[in-house]
Every structure is written in structure tokens, then in C-alpha cells.
Chains A and B, each alone.
Chain A
Amino acid sequence: MKEKKAKRIVYRSEREMPLMVISVGSQTHNLTGAWRNIRPEIDLEKCLKCGICWKFCPEPAIEIVDERPVVDYDYCKGCGICAEECPAKCIVMAEERK
């Protein structure tokens, strides 16, 4: 998960700009986690290992690490689809801590 994080590449002038769009996740410098008001918290005790939260994450900010869902809070926008869709109801949307 860690190697995904990219620094924003800043171009001083238009001439330095590449002719092609840089691919391979160059947008990951944009930490959208700051948009969030409520945060998903997964209770792994109740987890059924169905992968539904991973399947329906629109970011995708939920990753499967060692067969467990892990939320990447740098990018999670707090939409709450995972909590709504979880069949075991083991994801709770909690108030964001300051």
C-alpha cells in the first residue's frame, strides 16, 4: 500500500510539461481523505471475508491485505457505501476525529 503514494510533480514552465499524460497513478498526490466528515471503522471480529466493501468502494480506498479489508484513510472520502453494503454490518461510520 505504501509504495502507491506519489509526490506531486511540479513543472516550472510550460516547456517542461510532458507531451503525454503521466499515467500509473500520478493523481495519488491528491489526498482526498480531507473531504471526509465521517470515517468507516471496520470491526474485524465480525468480518465475514466476503470482499463486498472492497468491491463497492468507488475510490478504491479499501484494500485486501492478508485477506482482511484495510481502509486507506488518506483517500477515503467517507461516502459510507461500504457500511451500507456490508452484510455483517461490521463497518460503522464514526464521527471524524480532529
Chain B
Amino acid sequence: MKKDKKMTLTLPAEELMSPGHLACQGCGATLAMRYMLKALGQRTVLCIPACCWAVIDGPYPYSCLDAPIYHCAFETAASTATGVKAGLEMTGDTETTVVAWAGDGGTFDIGIQALSGAAERNDDIIYVCYDNEAYMNTGIQRSSATPYGAWTTTTPVKHFKDRPKKDIVAIMAAHRIPYIATASVSHPEDFVKKMKKAKAIKGTRFFHVFAPCPTGWKSRPDDSVKLARLAVQNAYFPLFEIEDGEKVTINLKLKEKKPVADYIRLQGRFRHLSEAHIAAIQDEVDARWARLLKSC
């Protein structure tokens, strides 16, 4: 080992997640939670609806997080967080950050009306959607976050999903909320920076976090971070932020995009796709990237 070099950690050293949790090997959602708590600190209340994190956390009365958790019904993540925030304000506590932490099913499909309501009222909460692109907790069913061509247990290989992913960020931008950001577990410094920025803003703040799931994507557990990084580098999941629904800032400007095929071929859920299908996905990703570049 080099003696002279000093170790510099790029993330806050404070650890608010303890080992012993029940996540699968190589879970991206645990990484997302770890980075978020590093950024927000201990004065945080989490409202978690039915999602992977409702299980990962551990059975009652045990918990692997050093922050209070409110387990709520599937569709009520945003409204529960609103209520918790209102309750805290009644007791005079304006410091504590209230976070609604939901998966893609609880955001894109089931929780969207509560989320839309909270965004319309501009309630002072942070809503984080960690996106693993299907209902992974209940057994890999299709959600509206599932991308084109993906296998799930409800979209088998013969009838794979033929519709693109719902653009949740555009939906949230249409609500004109103060802050929207996308983040990926492969870029934790960017994630922590955005989370700290969001903590200082008042109003509804929305995060779309890309969290690979080796179990549902049929990928190798050691490829989780690599997949997330490839998704950023080929503009499948670009990193950007939107302030007040208008001002778009792209955090990672790509000079040269990697081909989507590298990302697709690492995952078993896309194994049945032919070259023509992958070309269609590449076209869609290119169109989405061009649209994003035009908007800023």
C-alpha cells in the first residue's frame, strides 16, 4: 500500500444505515437509501409505502435505519408525508425533513394521485422514487415504469411490453414544483449534492433515482453499479435537474453516447430482443436525449 497517500472519502462518513438488512445481493435501492441518509442526516422522517424497502428494513420492531419510519398504505406515500410534515409543524418543529420514499409502482401507478395532489398543494416534502422498473417486491410484475421490450412475469417473452416507459419527470415538471432531479446510484457524489441542495429548498421536491435490481433484471449482482453507470452514459437515464418546472440543467453532458446494446445485453430480461428491437430502443433513447437537449 502506498504510505504517503491520504485517503479522502468523497461522501459524508456518517452512516445511518446498519448492515443486517434483508435486501438481495447487489441491490441498488439500498445504495440509494444509504446515499440519501448520508445527505439528509438523522433529522429525517421516512414515509415508506409497500415497496421493496418495506421489507428490506426488517420486521417490526427491528429496523436497520437510524431514522424514524412510517409504513403507510401503497397509494398514500405523498399524503402521509404531507400529514407528518403538518403534524411536525404544529409542534413547532420546522427543522425535520420529511421524505416519502416509494418504488416505481408506488409512484408511477398507484401513488400518482396522492403525489399529484401534494405537488399541486406544494407541500414541504421530498418525494424520492427509486426506480427498479417493475413491481420487484411482489414478484416482478409489469409497472408503467417498465421499459419497452422488458420481460416481467406478467409480460412474458411472447408478449413482452410493447409500450415505452412513462415520463414521470415530465409529469412532475408540469406541476411547476420548485425542484425535480434525476439521480443514479452509480453517481453518488452527484446524488448527495442534489439531495443537500433539495434540503435547503422549500416546497415539493421530487427525485427520480435509478436503482438496478439484479433479481428482477436477471443480471449479475456485481453488475448493478456498472448497469446504472452505463444507463447514464448512453443517455438511457440522463442526469438532470429542473427548477420551477422550467429551468433544465443537464448535470452530465455527454460528448459521446455509448450504444444502448451494451446495457441491454447485460440483462436477462432483454435476452429475447432481436437487433431490430434494440435499434428501436436506441432510436427512442436518441429522441428522448434530443428532446432534453432542446428543452434547456
Of chain B, the residue at the smallest CB distance from A26 is B62
Of chain B, the residue at the smallest CB distance from A58 is B30
Of chain A, the residue at the smallest CB distance from B64 is A27
Tell me, yes or no, whether B58 is within 8 Å of chain A by CB.
yes
Least CB distance from A54 to B in Å reads 7
The CA of A81 and the CA of B91, in the complex, are separated in Å by 44
Given A35-B25, A81-B26 in contact, is the A49-B68 Cβ separation under 8 Å? no
Tell me the B185-227 residues at the A interface (CB within 8 Å). Answer: 188, 214, 220-226
Tell me, yes or no, whether B291 is within 8 Å of chain A by CB.
no
Assign chain A's interface to a size class: 35 or more
- Whether A32 contacts B221 by the Cβ 8 Å rule is no
Tell me, yes or no, whether B5 is within 8 Å of chain A by CB.
yes
The CA of A45 and the CA of B1, in the complex, are separated in Å by 4
Of chain A, the residue at the smallest CB distance from B5 is A49
The CA of A61 and the CA of B188, in the complex, are separated in Å by 17
- Whether B68 contacts A28 by the Cβ 8 Å rule is no
- Whether B26 contacts A80 by the Cβ 8 Å rule is yes
Among B2, B19, B61, which residue has its beta carbon within 8 angstroms of that of A21? B61
- Whether A27 contacts B225 by the Cβ 8 Å rule is no
Least CB distance from A70 to B in Å reads 13
Among A27, A48, A55, A74, which residue has its beta carbon within 8 angstroms of that of B21? A27
- Whether A30 contacts B26 by the Cβ 8 Å rule is no
Tell me, yes or no, whether B34 is within 8 Å of chain A by CB.
yes
Contacts of A21 in B (CB 8 A): 60-63, 68-69
Least CB distance from A80 to B in Å reads 3
Tell me the B14-34 residues at the A interface (CB within 8 Å). Answer: 15, 17-23, 25-28, 30-31, 34
Contacts of B20 in A (CB 8 A): 25, 27-32, 75
- Whether A18 contacts B18 by the Cβ 8 Å rule is no
Query: Can you list 7 pairs linking A and B with CB atoms under 8 Å apart?
Result: A17-B61, A22-B63, A49-B5, A51-B10, A56-B188, A67-B6, A79-B214
Where the two chains meet, the residues of B that have a C-beta atom closer than 8 Å to any C-beta of A are 1-2, 5-11, 13, 15, 17-23, 25-28, 30-31, 34, 57-58, 60-69, 188, 214, 220-226
Where the two chains meet, the residues of A that have a C-beta atom closer than 8 Å to any C-beta of B are 4, 8, 11, 17-18, 20-32, 35, 44-51, 54-56, 58-61, 64, 67-68, 72, 74-75, 77-81, 83-85, 93
Beyond known contacts A21-B69, A25-B20: 12 more, CB 8 A cutoff: A4-B18, A23-B65, A24-B18, A27-B20, A46-B1, A49-B2, A51-B9, A55-B10, A58-B31, A61-B19, A68-B1, A80-B220
